[in-house]
Amino acid sequence: MQEKVRALVVTGFGINCEEEMAAAYRLAGAEADIVHLSAIFTQRVSIHDYQILNFPGGFSFGDDLGSARVLANKFKFKQMTSGKRFIDEIERFLNKGRFIMGVCNGFQALVKMGLLPNVGGNFEQEVTLTGNDSGQFEDRWVSCAVQARNASPFLKGISNIDLPVRHGEGKLLIRDEAVQQAIIEKNLNVLTYADEQGRPTSEYPFNPNGSQLNCAGLIDGSGQVFGLMPHPEAYLSLYNHPDWGRLKLTDAPADETGQGLKVFVNIVQHIKES
């Protein structure tokens, strides 16, 4: 009998989307545990007992010093009970072929601790997520296009997806031309904001923040680390969508699941098969 996939969803310090993310994994057929980061840092719970590590959205440390900056520093420099840094445990986790996903505030933490896009392979910060061009918090639904040539098991079989955004600092800025070129050449810009025709766009409000490369989500070169600003865990049912009535009548979906659930089904199925 095949064992269930186990997903670890971290919480604490202002993270507030952990319940929705855990629910997504359970609906996708996995076991999901919500664990406070303190229990991980003191090694009462080990990330190595899981196949996928998840950093949900929220307002870690109140975003007082920039979105997820304090959280990212904690991940990168925190010394655990064993004396090892948490980032070293994450590196070992990835070397085992396991997966990491960060959404919104979790995505901000992944880029600031150097896990994404990590084109240099040394966990140095190469991009950032900063204030939206609109100068305001964007809380609404957007459409996203998936890069056809990508190595992400999270996005298998998805070409376009509607998801909600809820962020004030979602604008991706890339450190320099070399990093940008590497992102393009390695197809790491896997999710872009799209217009009504499903084409990547920099036009507001379709692109809610003005990200370079119209980026809504990145992977690393291995495809094991995935981060995105929109919230797939907030679209688990068709009825989460603000326009569900029209969708049900015109698109005739085969079932009543939301598009966001597909992201979680994809990764759970990939882990089972591998």
| pLDDT tens string 32-85 | 999 999 999 999 999 999 999 999 999 888 766 777 889 999 999 988 989 999
Q: Of 104, 138, 167, 241, which one is the catalytic site residue?
A: 104
pLDDT at 115: 97
Residue 215: active-site member: no
Instruction: Please name the residue ranges forming H helices in the chain.
Output: 18-27, 37-41, 69-77, 86-95, 105-112, 177-185, 244-250, 259-273
Q: Of 89, 169, 233, 241, which one is the catalytic site residue?
A: 233
Short-list 200, 183, 73, CA closest to 143: 200
The model's confidence at residue 12, banded by pLDDT at 50, 70 and 90, is very high
pLDDT at 98: 98
The model's confidence at residue 3, banded by pLDDT at 50, 70 and 90, is confident
Domains delineated in the chain: 6-273 (3.40.50.880)
Q: Of 20, 89, 138, 231, which one is the catalytic site residue?
A: 231
Q: Is 194 left (phi over 0), alpha (psi -120 to 50) or beta?
A: beta
The model's confidence at residue 2, banded by pLDDT at 50, 70 and 90, is low
| Contact call for residues 162 and 143 (beta carbons, < 8 A) | yes
| pLDDT tens string 132-157 | 999 999 999 999 999 988 989 999 99
Residue 20: active-site member: no
pLDDT at 248: 87
CB atoms within 10 A of CB 5: 21
CB atoms within 10 A of CB 97: 11
| pLDDT tens string 149-182 | 898 999 999 999 999 999 999 999 999 999 999 9
Residue 104: active-site member: yes
DSSP code of residue 242? T
| pLDDT tens string 188-226 | 999 999 999 999 999 999 999 999 999 999 999 999 999
